[in-house]
């Protein structure tokens, strides 16, 4: 029994095991394996078209893998018997485009899944949402509609919404890419605060200096393969792999 417990406690929150994904004959992810451990922030980097979004979609069950497994704790979420709603509640997802419903207030957007999918008590959900909004200084926007908010505020509301189900981890897919550069900072500050509070995060990003500062580990994807998996220092500063150097020099020269 003790053995069993120690095995469970060292289990990663997310494990990709030889994940392979093709669109038709176009192989996008070729036996991709890596872990995200508890309280770890992992930045998924790679050139445009390298498969970052596809990988994120496979983890969020928006796409099916062709081969390999994705484990969320001890659940194989690629198993067709896995319950999609249960899994989605355990992973908080934020995408590049703010996906708030325009016809609903900020508060209604935030409590929607909690009340209608998880069937939580409405008042409890409202209290929780208001607490989260207070923490990011946006309680006064609860009754506003999304189009009255800046892009940065909308994205922070989307993060709050993702936190409502107390997910095991957050999946952040290019969450600052559609933002005016002036508004990127406030969203990244919120991600940094979540890291400091111990959140487990997998984020695809083009913000290299943020990845260097915030990530515990960098996973670099190229041509459907992981070519690096190490600390920001190892991967971004010290790697001698020419493909890695070429990728980061492109960003340094921007
Ligand atoms: N639904 C789809 N059907 C067919 N091909 C697709 C589909 N979605 C993505 N692709 C292809 O898969 C490859 C990887 O795309 P993906 O969006 O995952 O890359 P990415 O690394 O996220 O790129 P970016 O940094 O530009 O967002 C691309 O060649 C893309 O054209």
178 neighbors 206 (Cβ within 8 angstroms): no
Region 209-217: mean pLDDT is 94
State in words which class domain 2-252 has. Answer: alpha beta
| pLDDT tens readout for residues 145-162 | 999 999 999 999 999 999
Residues found in the chain: 254
Closest CA to 232 of 34, 6, 44: 44
Find tokens 């194989």 and name the residue.
76
Ligand 1 centroid to residue 22 C-alpha, Å = 10
* Alpha carbon nearest to ligand 1 atom 18, residue: 51
Closest CA to 68 of 23, 22, 24, 21: 21
pTM of the complete model: 0.91
Q: What is the pLDDT of residue 254?
A: 59
Q: What is the pLDDT of residue 10?
A: 62
| pLDDT tens readout for residues 179-195 | 888 889 999 999 999 99
Q: For the chain, give the percent of residues with pLDDT over 90.
A: 78
Q: How far apart are CA 113 and CA 120, in angstroms?
A: 9
Measured from the CA of 56, which atom of ligand 1 is nearest? 18
16 neighbors 51 (Cβ within 8 angstroms): no
Region 230-234: mean pLDDT is 97
- Helix runs in the chain, H state only: 2-9, 52-59, 84-90, 106-112, 122-135, 151-163, 181-196, 208-214, 232, 242-252
| pLDDT tens readout for residues 38-68 | 999 999 999 999 999 999 999 998 899 999 9
Q: How far apart are CA 146 and CA 252, in angstroms?
A: 35
Q: What is the pLDDT of residue 6?
A: 43
For a ligand 1 pocket test, name from 28, 57, 177, 225 the mutation site with the most ligand atoms within 8 angstroms of its C-beta: 28
- Evaluate if residue 101 carries a pLDDT over 80: yes
Q: How far apart are CA 109 and CA 168, in angstroms?
A: 21
Q: What angle do CA 73, 91, 109 make, to 5 degrees?
A: 160
* Alpha carbon nearest to ligand 1 atom 16, residue: 51
Give residue ranges with CB within 6 A of ligand 1: 23, 28, 46, 48-54
Structure tokens at 25: 């004959």
Q: How far apart are CA 76 and CA 16, in angstroms?
A: 10
């Amino acid at each position: 029994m003790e053995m069993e417990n120690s095995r469970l406690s060292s289990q990663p929150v997310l494990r990709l095991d030889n994940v392979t994904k093709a669109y038709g004959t176009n192989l996008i992810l070729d036996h991709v394996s890596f872990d995200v451990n508890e309280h770890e922030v992992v930045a998924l980097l790679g050139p445009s078209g390298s498969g970052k979004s596809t990988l994120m979609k496979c983890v969020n069950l928006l796409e099916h893998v062709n081969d390999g497994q994705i484990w969320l704790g001890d659940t194989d979420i690629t198993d067709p018997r896995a319950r999609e709603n249960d899994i989605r509640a355990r992973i908080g997802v934020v995408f590049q485009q703010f996906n708030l419903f325009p016809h609903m207030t900020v508060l209604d957007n935030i409590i929607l899944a909690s009340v209608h999918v998880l069937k939580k008590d409405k008042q409890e959900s409202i209290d929780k949402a208001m607490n989260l909004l207070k923490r990011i200084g946006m309680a006064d926007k609860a009754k506003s509609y999304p189009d009255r908010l800046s892009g940065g505020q909308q994205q922070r509301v989307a993060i709050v919404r993702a936190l409502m189900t107390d997910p095991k981890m957050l999946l952040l897919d290019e969450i600052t890419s559609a933002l005016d550069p002036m508004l990127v900072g406030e969203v990244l500050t919120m991600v940094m605060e979540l890291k400091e509070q111990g959140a487990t995060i997998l984020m695809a990003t083009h913000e290299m200096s943020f990845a260097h500062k915030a990530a515990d580990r960098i996973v670099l994807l190229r041509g459907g393969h992981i070519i690096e998996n190490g600390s920001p220092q190892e991967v971004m500063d010290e790697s001698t792999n020419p493909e890695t150097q070429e990728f980061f020099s492109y960003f340094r020269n921007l």
